[in-house]
Amino acid sequence: MVKTNNNHKGHPPSFWNESTRIVHGSQNADPLHRSLNAPLHLSTSFKWNSVEDDGGYDYSRTANPTRTVLEEQLAQLENGLFCSTHGSGMAAATAVAHLFKQGDHVIISEDCYGGVFRLFNDVIRHFGIEVSFTDLKNLDGVQKAIRPNTKCIWAESPSNPLLRLVDINALAEIANSSNALLVVDNTFCSPILQKPLDLGAHIVVHSLSKYVNGHSDVLGGAVITKNKKLGDRIHFLTNALGIGSPAFDSWLILRGIKTLKVRYSHQQKTTQTVAEWLQDHLKVKRVIYPGLPSHPDHELAKRQQKGFGAVITFEVDGGKEGAKTVAESTEVCTLAESLGGVTTLIELPAFHSHASMTDKARQKAGINDALIRLSIGLEDENDLINDLGQALRQLPEMNIRIKNHYNGSYSPVSKGVLGV
């Protein structure tokens, strides 16, 4: 865990624009040889200066110079002061979960990532911690869910996979008035689009495996805060649990960060185009994407984020079988779990990312078997549209419906009337 120091000569000046700071964030990590990229330190142990002076590093489970560079850059990107990195996004979530003790109460977004649901529902509850899965968009409901022993509100914004946004400022007010922590999973936005700490969150968590690294070749997670007490505790837990980010993984993520902004900018542009195309397609029942004016949180996204992200969730005619047909028929879009990489990935959340949730929990959250999640990569937008088009053509024509552009509703069309 590190505390950032913006006056250190190794850190880019704060007055530089974000794109420049991202590229140069780790450039001065090697004052001895002046390498452009941060060195990779694979040593498990480090020589002590004396019996009582470890020189800053003793054992790589506790800290590693390569990991330190990554933690410094992530803390700066999120406008935080303290950062600990971990072996996966779930390892980061596990570190935060260990802040709580028997008798505490935690409120979790009801449409959270399946792995987070599994962690709190099937693991943390066994430690005597009370867990409530709640609709965090309903602020009155959140207020009513608060108990005297509530210690945390855990939010995802946008959520996975329904892309629901929560008002982070409003949740922070509720958390502060209840002496609870507000934890925000910022994986879908990355620091490029949203900085939850600036909006009142106490802790930000990331799966670095997604956009921050961006190449689908490494697992990683991060916990970032402005609070020294929380930062010190997370660092202690990271060391005690043995879940810190390995040096090589940290080095790979540092490489990925350098192209984060340019990658995400391109991905967002393509995503907007694909979402608009899907919205007008006759075999698509609904499209969920914050960049569409039809999204209920479109205005909140414009106010709270610097963009709309690169994930689309949509539903086609034919229910579960229709969704399976589309997902199994794509060629450019790869049927695989995860998101945020350079390759466009398609999945059915009920069978993949959220399979660990109970049927009842998925139904409560609105995650049905027919949902398709699409994570847009760096392919040409025309190739993606053509690929999705040929996959949608595999659906029976009897499911085709005409969209009413006045109210967004659809009307059935007799089979064979339209060829799509």
Domains and CATH numbers, the chain: 2-257 (3.40.640.10), 260-412 (3.90.1150.10)
Stretch among 32-36, 151-155, 160-164, 353-357 having the lowest mean pLDDT: 353-357
Mean pLDDT of the chain: 90
Question: pLDDT tens, 182-224?
Answer: 999 999 999 999 999 999 999 999 999 999 999 999 999 999 9
Active-site position among 61, 306, 364, 401: 61
Q: What are phi and psi of 147, to 5 degrees?
A: -120, 165
DSSP symbol at 44: S
Whether 261 is catalytic is no
- Checking if the pLDDT of 405 tops 70, the result is no
How confident is the model at residue 17, as a pLDDT?
86
| pLDDT classification of 233: cutoffs 50, 70, 90 | very high
Interval 243-252 mean pLDDT? 97
Confidence of residue 401 (pLDDT cuts 50, 70, 90): low
Which alpha helices (H) appear in 107-167, and where do they start and end? 114-122, 139-145
Catalytic residue (choose from 185, 249, 297, 387):
185
Among this protein's residues, is 406 annotated catalytic? no
**Is 61 among the residues known to form the active site?**
yes
The pLDDT of 16-43, averaged and rounded, is 83
**pLDDT above 70 covers what percent of the chain?**
91
User: In this predicted structure, what is the pLDDT of residue 1?
Assistant: 62
Q: In this predicted structure, what is the pLDDT of residue 402?
A: 53
- In one-letter notation, the amino acid at residue 36 is L
**What is the C-alpha to C-alpha distance for residues 163 and 170, in angstroms, rounded to an integer?**
18
Q: At residue 59, what is the residue type?
A: Y
Cα separation, 349 vs 327, in Å, equals 11
Among 70, 63, 83, 80, smallest CA distance to 258 is for 70
Q: Which pLDDT band, with edges at 50, 70 and 90, does 409 fall under?
A: very low
Which residue in the list 21, 104, 113, 195 is annotated as catalytic?
113
113 counts as catalytic: yes
Residue 5 has pLDDT above 50, yes or no: no
